[in-house]
Amino acid sequence: MNEMTRTDNNGTGPADPDQRANTQQQLDALSATAEQYNSTANQLSDRILSLIPDHPEILTLTDIWDLLEVPGFNCQDLSPSMYQAGWALAKARQRYKEGERV
C-alpha cells in the first residue's frame, strides 16, 4: 500500500507518526490562517460600521470599490481580499441596522 494512503488501525489518519505530526502542523497552520482571515474581516467591519453615521451612503453602496471613495476609509494595513471586504460591508450594514454602534 502507498505510504501516503496507509492509515492507522482505526482509519482516522496516517499510520506513520512523522506523517501524523506533519498533518497536525498543517492543520494548525490552516487554523491560524483562518483566524487571521476572520480577524481581518471583523476589523474591517468595525471600521466600516464606525463610518456609517457620518457617511450613510455606505448603506446603499452597490460596488465594494466605492468604499475607497468614502472619506476616512482606510484598509491598507489590513490588505483584505475582495471577499473579506464584501463580507465586512454586509456585516457592518447588518450590525448598523440592528442598532449597533462603534
Domain residue ranges in the chain: 39-102
Q: Binning pLDDT at 50, 70 and 90, where does residue 17 land?
A: confident
Q: How far apart are CA 22 and CA 79, in angstroms?
A: 29
Q: Is the pLDDT of residue 1 over 50?
A: no
Residue 2 pLDDT exceeds 50: no
Q: Which amino acid, residue 66? A: D
Give strand pairing partners of 7: 14
pLDDT tens digits along 23-54: 888 888 878 888 999 999 999 999 999 999 99
* Length of the chain as a residue count: 102
